[in-house]
Amino acid sequence: MTGALAPPNLKKIKSVVARPASPLRLLVYLALAALVALAVVQVVAIDRQSERTEARRDAVAVVQRSVTALTTVSAKSLDDDISRMMKDATPGFRSQFEKQAKAFREGVQQGKVSSKGSVTAAGVSSITDRKAVVMVAADGTVSNAVSSGPQQRSYRLRVTLKRSGDHWLVSGMEFVS
């Protein structure tokens, strides 16, 4: 038969299969298996580290946005300012704020308060899959009806976040010294 495949040499195959592996060959196979396992562990660890880095970055971004909104208010744009503050809030935090919103509104409007704030530093204090705590330093320039001119203010805050789906939401905010 031309062009047909020749049957395999069964004697040769049987001798290779029947021959026990040498200790050196067995050691090489074990070493290769260990290297593959180590590579898989490393890939998983790198992927997990990347996820943690992204979670930290996302948490800090939410806090920067929220604290900037908190420290940037004006009697002229108060409704929009409050909406920006509550954009990244959990329902519980939003509810807490709403209990104090009337007094906050009155204070800003009666005092003709205008404040422009910015976050100068923010860092994650602790983080898990579901919760993060971020420490924040912010500065603001505040003007009001009783001051002779703009005043510089410095704020230090501890902001607690909870994970909601793929997003971090502010669940608590407190001023610290």
CATH code for the domain of 129: 3.10.450.540
Q: Is residue 114 part of a domain?
A: yes
Q: Is residue 9 part of a domain?
A: no
C-alpha to C-alpha distance for 170 and 177, rounded to whole angstroms: 20
Q: Is residue 12 part of a domain?
A: no
Q: Is residue 103 part of a domain?
A: yes
E strand segments, the chain = 73-74, 114-127, 131-143, 151-164, 167-175
* Nearest CA among 149, 146, 166, 128 for reference residue 52: 128
Question: Which letter does DSSP use for residue 104 in this model?
Answer: H
pLDDT for 6:
61
Whether the full predicted model's pTM is greater than 0.75, yes or no, is: no
Q: Domain span at residue 105?
A: 23-175
Question: What is the length of the chain?
Answer: 177
Written as tens digits, the pLDDT of the chain (177 aa) is 555 666 666 666 555 555 666 778 788 888 888 888 888 888 877 767 767 788 899 999 999 999 999 999 998 888 898 888 889 999 999 999 888 888 988 989 888 989 999 999 999 999 998 999 999 999 999 998 888 889 999 999 999 999 999 899 999 999 997
Q: Are 72 and 64 in contact (CB under 8 A)?
A: no
The CA distances from residue 61 to 18, 57, 126, 140, in Å, are 64, 6, 15, 18
Count: domains in the chain: 1
* Nearest CA among 123, 127, 115, 15 for reference residue 61: 123
Q: Is residue 105 part of a domain?
A: yes
Q: Is residue 10 part of a domain?
A: no
pLDDT for 7:
65
Q: Is residue 18 part of a domain?
A: no
Angle at the Cα of 105 (from 75 to 70), degrees rounded to 5? 75
pLDDT for 14:
58
Q: Is residue 13 part of a domain?
A: no
pLDDT for 126:
94
